[in-house]
Structure 1
C-alpha cells in the first residue's frame, strides 16, 4: 500500500465526488475514523422569519433560507433559542464586532482602537477560540493542527478574525488558494514566506503525480477495479484543482494519469474582484474537504468575508453592498438580502456534499464531522445578539442525534447560552471540559443533543 507519509506529502484524496478508497489511505491502520470539526462563517446575520424552521423536533420544515440544505436534512441540527449573552451587554465595539469576537471564544472583546460601525473602542477578543482550544487539548496527530481559510476577508481588524490562539492573539485566515494548495499539497516547507518564494516552490516542485508515480504503478495492479476507478478519479481531481489555479482549465478525463504533466502556471484569479468570490470559495472548500479526507488536519475554519461586510455580489445581479442591503427593510431589500443568504446556504450544501461523498466504513466523512454554521448577529434589522441562527451538520461520529429541530423556546422554554453550544461541541470532539469561554455564561453541555 502507499505509505501514509507519501500520501500526506503527495495527497491522493482531492475533491472528487467519489469516496477515498474507504479512507484507508488517509488513516493508515486506524480502525475508527477520527472526528473532525469545521466552522462555516458567513456575515451580517439573517432574517429570522426566513431562516427559522417550522414544526416540531422531529417533524419540521426547513425555511426558505435553509432550503438548499434539504438533501442533508437528516444530518442537520438547526437551533432556536440560543443567545450570545456574553457579548450582549458589553459596551466595547458594535454588535457586529462583539458578535464575531465572541463567536468561537465565548468571551467579550478587550478595549482597543478599532473602529466598528459607530464605535471606535473595539479590541481583539479576550479568549482562545474553540478550534484552537481543541487543537491544543486533543493535539491531533496531523501535519496541520488547524487550517484557517478565508474567502475575500480583507478586513485585518477585529471584524475580520474568528480564530484566536489566546486573549489578544488573533489568527489571520489564509485567503490565497494558491498558497493553500502549495502548503497542503506540495509538501512545501512551512518556513517559506511570501508570494515569490511560493512561486519558486511551484516552479521547482514535482507534481503529486511525479511524487507518487512509482507507488501508483506498484499498487494499481493489486487493487480491485472499483478502487482503481476511485484512485484515478482522485488523481484527476488534484489535476483539476491545479488546472483551475493555473487558469488552464481541467485535464481531459480520458488522459492517463501516468502521463500527466504539470500545467503551465497561467494568470492568477484576481482575489480582489468581488465577482470571483464563488470561484475562490469553491477552491477553498475543495481543499478543505481534501485536507480532512487525507487527515492533513481535523480542524478547519472557513470564513466568508468579514463582520459588517460591505461585499458586492455582482454574480447575483445585485448592485448594493451586503451591509447596506441588510438594512434596506422594504420588500425589495429583504428579497435581495434573502438572495445573498440563500446563496451562502448553497455554498454550505456544496461543502456538505463534498464531505458526504467520502466513505468511511459504513458512514461518511460528514458523519464523522461536526460542522458549525455561524454568523455574528441574528436579526440583521435589529443588530440582535439573541436567538442566533446557528446550525450543526454531521454527528461527530454518532455523538449527536441529527435530523431534528432543537427549539429551546418551545412550550415556554428558556433560552440557552452559545458558550454551552461550544462546550457541547468540545465534549463531542473528546474533551473533558466542564465550561468554555467566560464561566459566568457557561453552565454545562446543552441538553437533548446526544
Structure 2
C-alpha cells in the first residue's frame, strides 16, 4: 500500500468506542493508541534511531577525560563540541553475547542490537549464522505499530547486497534479518511518491480533529459525577490523554513536514559516500517530521567493510586501514573516524532544526551511535563506543560522560566489570515508553537499565 500523508478524519463515535463508552470498537487505535495504557506525559511522540558505523574506533583517542558532569571531549569525538550538551558518552558497555556462541569480532553486529548469541552457521572466517532474537528497534516498532504508516525504516549507506550477519542490524525474530535500503531514490519513492501535502487540506484536517476532541471532552466531562472511583480515575487519565493529543495538534506535529529535495541523479559509489549518507539522513528526518515512522536505523557500510575515501586521498579501503598502526595509515584512520563523528552531529543538527513546541525534534528523539567492536586493530567487543544523542522526551539527562568498569584497552578480551549492551537495550525500551521490559535478549546478561 502506498503511504499517504493524511489519515482519514475520526468521529466522536470512534473516540468513545476506543474508550469503551460507545458502540463501535477499536476505530481510534491509529489516532489515540496511548488510551490503552496509562497517561503519558508530553505532547510529542518519542523517536528512536540506531546509527551504526563500522570497524570500531581508535580506543585511546575515543575515550574522554573527566567525570560525569565535568568532562572534555576526546580527539575522536571533537566534532561533537557543538552538541556536547545534547549527548551522553557511554564508556564501558560490553557487546557481551558475541563471547558465548558462534562468531567473533565484526559478526558482533548481530548481537549488538539483539543481545542474543548468534546461531550456528558458516558465514565468514569465524563461522556463525544470524542473530537468535529480535532487535530493539523492531520490538519497539511492533509495539508502536498502527501509529504511523511505516513501522520502521532500515536505511544504509553503501551496504552490500550480499546478505550476511555483518551486513544486517535489525531482526524481526531469530534468523529473520530485515533488508537494508541503500538507495535513497528508492527510499524517497517509498515515502513520498504519493504524499499529499496540500497546506489547505492539512489545516482543514487539523481543525476537524480539534473539533472532534473538543466534543468528546465535553461528553466525557458530563460523565464524571456518575462513575465509581476506579472508573473516575480511568476517565481522568483518558481526559489527560485527549488534552495531550489536543496540545500536540495545536503545536502542529507534522506541519513542518516537507518533501526533501533530491538530485536528478547520483551514482551510488564510494566517491559519493558522504552525499548518499546526507540524502539518507535528510529522508530520515523528513520521515520523522511527517510522522511517517518513529523508529529508524542507518547503517554506514557493513561491518568489516568500508569505502575507499578517495576524497581524503586514500587508495585503500577503510576496513584494510582499520588494521594498520603505522603512519600514514593512522592519520587516515583518524580522518575516517572524524568523518563518522561529523555525520552523527549532522543528523543531530537536522533533528534540532525541526521545531516541536518550545524545543525541537531532537528533544524527543534518541540517536544511538555504536559500533560492534572497540579498538579496530584488536577486534574485541568489550567497551564498544556508544554515544547517545537527544533527550527522548525528557528521559535522558544529556551533557554527561558515564564510565563503567575499569577497561584499559588491553588485553582485548579482558573482563573489566562494565555493563552489557543488554542493559543499554533495556534503557532504550524504557526511554521509548516500554517500561515493562525488564530484560532484553539473553536474560543472563541483564541487570537493569543503564539510565
TM-score by length of 2: 0.75
Counterpart among 87, 95, 108 of residue 105 in structure 2 = 95
CA distance in 1, matches of 2:407, 2:104: 33
Alignment of 1:200-349 (within 5 A): 212=198, 215=201, 238=259, 241-242=261-262, 244=263, 247=264, 268-271=265-268, 273-349=269-345
The aligned runs of 1:96-115 (5 Å cut-off) are 96-97=106-107, 99-115=108-124
Match of 2:350 in 1: 354
Query: Residue 383 of structure 2 contacts residue 407 of structure 2 at CA under 8 Å; is this kept in 1?
Result: no
How much has 1:421 moved relative to structure 2? 0.6
CA–CA separation in structure 2 for the residues paired with 1:48 and 1:372: 18
Equivalent-residue separation in structure 2 for 1:365 and 1:379 (angstroms) = 33
Partners of 1:36 and 1:136 in 2: CA distance? 13
- Rate the CA distance shift 1:415–1:234 in 2: closer, same or farther, 3 A: closer
Take 2:104 and 2:96, find their aligned partners in 1: how far apart are those partners? 14
Aligned CA distance change for structure 1 residues 184 and 340 (closer, same or farther; 3 Å): same
Deviation of 1:114 (Å): 1.5
- Which of 121, 135, 149 is the aligned partner of 2:155? 149
CA distance in 1, matches of 2:351, 2:98: 33
The alpha-carbon deviation at position 218 of structure 1 amounts to 8.7
Instruction: Report the secondary structure of 2:261's partner residue.
Output: helix
5+ residue gaps, structure 1: 10-26, 188-206, 220-229, 248-267
Is 1:372 paired with 2:368?
yes
Q: Residues 83 and 415 of structure 1 are in contact (CA less than 8 Å); yes or no, is this contact kept in structure 2?
A: yes
Residues 1:49 and 2:60 are matched in the alignment: yes
CA distance in 1, matches of 2:438, 2:308: 42
Give 2:20's aligned residue.
none
* Distance apart, 1:212 and its partner CA: 2.0
- The residue aligned with 1:394 is 390
CA distance in structure 2 between the aligned counterparts of 1:409 and 1:77, rounded to whole angstroms: 17
CA contact (8 A) 2:85 2:399 kept: yes
How far off is 1:214 after superposition?
A: 5.8
Deviation, structure 1 residue 89 = 3.8
Residues 314 and 433 (structure 1), Cα distance of their counterparts in 2 relative to 1, 3 Å cut:
same
Instruction: Report the Cα distance in structure 1 between the residues aligned to 2:113 and 2:199, rounded to whole angstroms.
Output: 42
Please say if residues 95 and 372 of structure 2, whose CA atoms lie closer than 8 Å, have aligned partners that are also in contact. Answer: no
- Structure 1 residue 113, shift from structure 2 partner: 2.2
Structure 2 gaps, min length 5? 9-30, 35-41, 206-251, 409-415
Structure 1 CA distance, aligned partners of 2:173 and 2:202? 43
Going from structure 1 to structure 2, the CA distance change for 1:127 and 1:351 (only over 3 Å counts) comes to same
Q: Distance in 2 between matches of 1:292 and 1:307?
A: 27
Structure 1 equivalent of residue 239 of structure 2: none
Query: d(CA) in 2 for partners of 1:153 and 1:441?
Result: 30
Residue-pair matches, total: 364
Counterpart of 1:444 in structure 2 is: 448
Aligned residue for 2:128, secondary structure, equals: strand
Question: What is the CA-CA distance between 1:84 and the residue it aligns to?
Answer: 1.6
Secondary structure of the corresponding residue to residue 150 of structure 1: strand
Q: CA deviation at 1:216?
A: 8.0
- 1:161-207 Cα offsets, whole Å, 9 max, x none, are 000000010001111111111111123xxxxxxxxxxxxxxxxxxx8
Q: Secondary structure at the match of 2:129?
A: strand
Deviations 1:5-62 (A, max 9, x none): 65579xxxxxxxxxxxxxxxxx99x971010000110000001111111111101111
1:424 maps to which of 423, 427, 432: 427
- Check conservation: 2:92, 2:407, Cα contact below 8 A: no
Residue of structure 2 in register with 1:225 after alignment: none
Q: Distance in 1 between matches of 2:121 and 2:372?
A: 19
